[in-house]
Amino acid sequence: MRVRFLGVGVLACLSFLALAAAAGAQPCLIFVHGKQTNTNTFTNYNSARSYWVNGSNDFVRTATKNFAAYHYVVGYNGTRPYFEAQSAGEVANEIVNATNGGADGGGNRCRTTFAQGGTFWVIAHSMGGTLMDFVLGNNDPSDPNFNFTGPFDQVAQRVSMVITTGGAHRGSQGADAVCLQSNPFCSFIAIFIQSCDDATFWLRTSDDVQVRNVASAPARTVYLTGGYEAIFGASACLTGEDDGVVQYASIFACNGSATASYDNSNVCNNNSKQETTGFRNLDAAHENHSDERDASDTDVRKAIPGGIWTCGGVPCAPNTTVQSAMNTAQFVAILY
Amino acid sequence: MFAKRTTLGILMMGLAAAAAAQIEPGGFARETAKDYRELARYPESSRVLKRGEEDPIRAKRLPTRQSMPGPDGSEPILSVWTAKISFEVGQPIDLFATLETRAKAVRPDSISGEIADASGAIVAQVTYKDDGQEADRTAGDGVWSARLAMPKGLEPSPAASYMVRVKARLADGDLRDGAGGFLYSRPSAHLTGRYRDLLRDGNLVVAAEVDVKEAGRFHLAGTLATAEGEPIGTAQSAAHLEPGRYWIELSYYGLMFHDRKAAGPYRLASLALSTTNVMPNAQNDLVENVHLTRAYRTGQMTERPFQEPRLLETAKRLELDADRAQGRTAPEQQ
């Protein structure tokens, strides 16, 4: 009886150590949400956490392999322009807190701090991508807006990479349509873009508001994935493939016009990005802008030019179906 | 029956293709680390360009077209753009628009525009014309143009973004909407037109003199090219300056001249000055081909990689992660 009890105890300890070791071998994932129409994610952790959840589907749980990897959920003011203290500044401060082993509003913390040798990957959705471009493009004293609203230099030093899903790197034609206030056919998802507020004004596709105008190339690589599942009504207002809110030219950080028409076969490769370095393609998913952040649509994934998937030892041809049922959270989970 | 077999066949082929695609465990972290080791050869403030790569500083200052289809994605498509991304106070602001079906111009009944500030307030209105007058270069070419003079009293400090809301009325009465914009800038410093170059620690330093009218932070970025104009690399720097005249230096890391096998003289192909740390940043006009350096030899430049320490540290950590993912190192050893 005693032996059995000890055996169970040892097994439990070994299981715990194995889980801890496995988590230690993995990066800590830091989640940065997208545009908001109110300040809830900034003032209430539960709102920031809920951003990644849809019913029983949970992007954070899936991407962390059922919490085997540690995580931290950032909440910022998604109604403010991407460069402000409550947006970029808040995100930068929270990332530094995460890398110091501090807890997010829900008590989640990265197991290994930066000082202890930890690695940190940022997963950003929608406007979260624009914001990370600004932070990582202003980390050096030679950059135009060095440490403008936060410790961008520390973020760049500590973050290993960023993965953006549906990132609005070049703005959104959805924001254009909302700020035009004239096209009733563009019925965008209200939780993302409801009005031409300050954040929306700075997420338009016009050259003068682009993040590349006020930042240099990101100091750490920003990896790009995004959806091509249309949203009825909204997608008609976007050029080329899109996720119903953001068009491919922006999701994949293409140079040239932010409204150029692209699809899975011809979207800009890694040599034609908004900066000469720092942006790389991963793949595309049959998800819309909402699915991209809540793991609710386990669907087809496609290869894109310069993307990550290999077929028979060589890069898969663009538009090849590389997975028949995988959502973006599952995709993130196979990258580490 | 045949259709069923065909469908099944296509499905099986799709599954087979999907099954064949893969991502190597640890490969993602390792490839990222490899990129960082390559990038670490240069300081963040100076980068080499690949042969044939366009001038990135010039590219960032080139205006692009914003296009928007009609309802349900229908044509014709309205495209709008400006002569520049940023206009300094006092400069005429030239606005353009086209209406096209399958890349062929469609003649609208009229095109008009409203200029709105960040609060949505309309500060000016314009009418586009295709008559070859003022901003319109060629009559009847399908490019409609308008010249805007910003109203007095809107001088920004140091800059403001304006949205251009364009409305095209088609011959059949339908409407098309377009959204563009421009930056209205009042920079606190200007280039004087004086430049000089020197070698320092195996790097090529090109300095530009600026005249600062109001204290602020200023960012200068420039692309260096061969004498023939082939871009070689970029450099940037920033400084807080009080009113007066100063030299801002751009240090082109010496390794780039070896990597590109390019001997001098070198041409300062493009130079962009901005007043920064206030949003939006105020942009001066881009200047191009303003200076030719002395005929430096490649041998005068450093061949030593910069070895940017923070990037190398990140690469090292990613390589450890990759090793663990591939089972090469026990997780406990971290």
pLDDT in tens, A185-242: 666 665 677 789 999 999 999 999 999 999 999 999 999 999 999 887 777 788 899 9
Res. A15: pLDDT tops 70 = no
Reported ipTM: the value is: 0.93
* pLDDT tens-digit map of A116-175: 999 999 999 999 999 999 999 999 999 999 999 999 999 999 999 999 999 999 999 999
Query: In the predicted model, what is the mean pLDDT of residues A90-95?
Result: 98
CA-wise closest residue to B217 among B187, B193, B177: B187
Residue A305: cis peptide before it, omega within 30 degrees of 0: no
Per-residue pLDDT tens digits of chain B, which is 334 residues long: 334 444 444 444 444 555 578 998 899 999 999 999 999 999 999 999 999 999 999 999 999 999 998 887 889 999 999 999 999 999 999 999 999 999 999 999 999 999 999 999 999 999 999 999 999 999 999 999 999 999 999 999 999 999 999 999 999 999 999 999 999 999 999 999 999 999 999 999 999 999 999 999 999 999 999 999 999 999 999 999 999 999 999 999 999 999 999 999 999 999 999 999 899 999 999 999 999 999 999 999 999 999 999 999 999 999 999 999 888 765 443 3
**Which position has the higher pLDDT, A101 or A177?**
A101
**Residue A18 pLDDT greater than 50, yes or no:** no
Please give the biggest Cα pair distance in chain A: 77
Task: State the angle between helix axes of A127-136 and A90-99 in degrees (0 to 180), rounded to the nearest 10.
Answer: 80
The 10s digit of each residue's pLDDT in A34-62 is: 999 999 999 999 999 999 999 999 999 99
Question: Residue A253: which region, alpha, beta or left (left: phi > 0; alpha: psi -120 to 50)?
Answer: left
Q: What secondary structure letter does DSSP report for A275? A: S
Handedness of CA B140, B141, B143, B149 (dihedral sign): negative
Average pLDDT of chain A to the nearest whole number: 92
Q: Which of B183, B202, B246 is nearest to B220 (CA)?
A: B246
Q: Which of B10, B13, B32, B100 to mutate to test the interface with A (most CBs of A within 10 A)?
A: B32
Give the up-direction half-sphere exposure of residue A185: CA atoms within 13 A in the CB hemisphere. 15
For A142, nearest residue in chain B (alpha carbons): B237
Q: How is residue A280 written in tokens?
A: 């790389």
B64 to chain A: nearest residue by CA?
Answer: A257
Kindly list the structural domains of chain A, giving each domain's residue range(s) and its CATH number in brackets, ordered by start.
Answer: 26-333 (3.40.50.1820)
Question: What pLDDT shows up at residue B334?
Answer: 36
Which of A27, A179, A180 lies nearest to residue B321, judging by beta carbons?
Answer: A27
Largest CA distance in chain B: 85
Position A324 scores a pLDDT of 97
Partner residues linked to B234 by β-bridges: B47, B223
Beta bridge partners of B94: B147
Report the distance separating Cα A240 and Cα A210, nearest Å.
20
Contact A127, A78 (CB under 8 A): yes
CA dist A311 to A334, B16, B152, Å?
Answer: 16, 11, 62
Tell if the CB–CB gap between A112 and B60 is shorter than 8 Å: no
Identify whether the C-beta of residue B203 lies closer than 8 Å to the C-beta of residue B235. no
| Structural domains for chain B | 46-57+188-300 (2.60.40.3870), 65-185 (2.60.40.1930)
Q: Is the pTM above the cut of 0.90?
A: yes
| C-alpha to C-alpha distance for B16 and A17, rounded to whole angstroms | 38
**What's the burial of B118, exposed, middle or buried (CB within 10 Å: 0-12/13-18/19+)?**
middle
Does residue A14 register a pLDDT over 50? no
Q: Residue B181 forms beta bridges with which residues?
A: B163
Residues of chain B neighbouring A213 (CB-CB closer than 8 A): 60, 85, 183, 280-281, 283
CA-nearest of A168, A77, A87, A72 to A121 is: A72
Chain A residues with beta carbon closer than 8 angstroms to that of B237? 142
Distance CA B225, CA B108 (A): 43
| Pick from A322, A30, A293, A271: nearest CA to A167 | A293
Residue in B233, B220, B199 with CA at minimum distance from that of residue B287: B220
Stretch 167-186 of chain A: residues touching chain B, C-beta under 8 Å: 173, 176-177, 179-180, 182-183, 185
Task: Using a CB–CB cutoff of 8 Å, tell me whether A85 touches chain B.
Answer: no
d(CA A168, CA B104): 30
Place of tokens 């929270």: A94
DSSP letters, A213-268, are GS--S-SS-EEEEEE----TTTGGGSSSSB-SSSBHHHHTTBSS-TT----TTTS-
**Is the distance from CB of A257 to CB of A309 less than 8 angstroms?**
no
What pLDDT is stored for residue A192 in this prediction? 74
Cα separations in angstroms, A3 against A11, A12, A13: 12, 14, 15
**The pLDDT of residue A8 is above 70:** no
Q: What is the pLDDT of residue A188?
A: 62
Strands (E), chain A: 28-32, 53-54, 57-58, 71-74, 120-125, 161-165, 222-227, 279-285, 299-302, 310-311, 314-315, 321-326
Selection from A108, A111, A121, A115 nearest residue A16 by Cα: A111
Angle at A248 between CA B60 and CA A122, to 5 degrees: 80
Q: Is A284 helix (H, G, I), strand (E, B) or coil?
A: strand
Nearest by CB to A259, which of B66, B177, B334? B66
A58-to-A39, A236, A330, B81 alpha-carbon distances in Å: 22, 29, 11, 42
The pLDDT score that the predictor gives to residue A38 is 94
The pLDDT score that the predictor gives to residue A16 is 43
3-state secondary structure (DSSP) of residue B270: strand
Residues 219-278 of A with CB under 8 A from B: 219-221, 235-237, 239, 255-259, 271, 275-277
Q: How far is A84 from chain B (nearest CA, A)?
A: 9
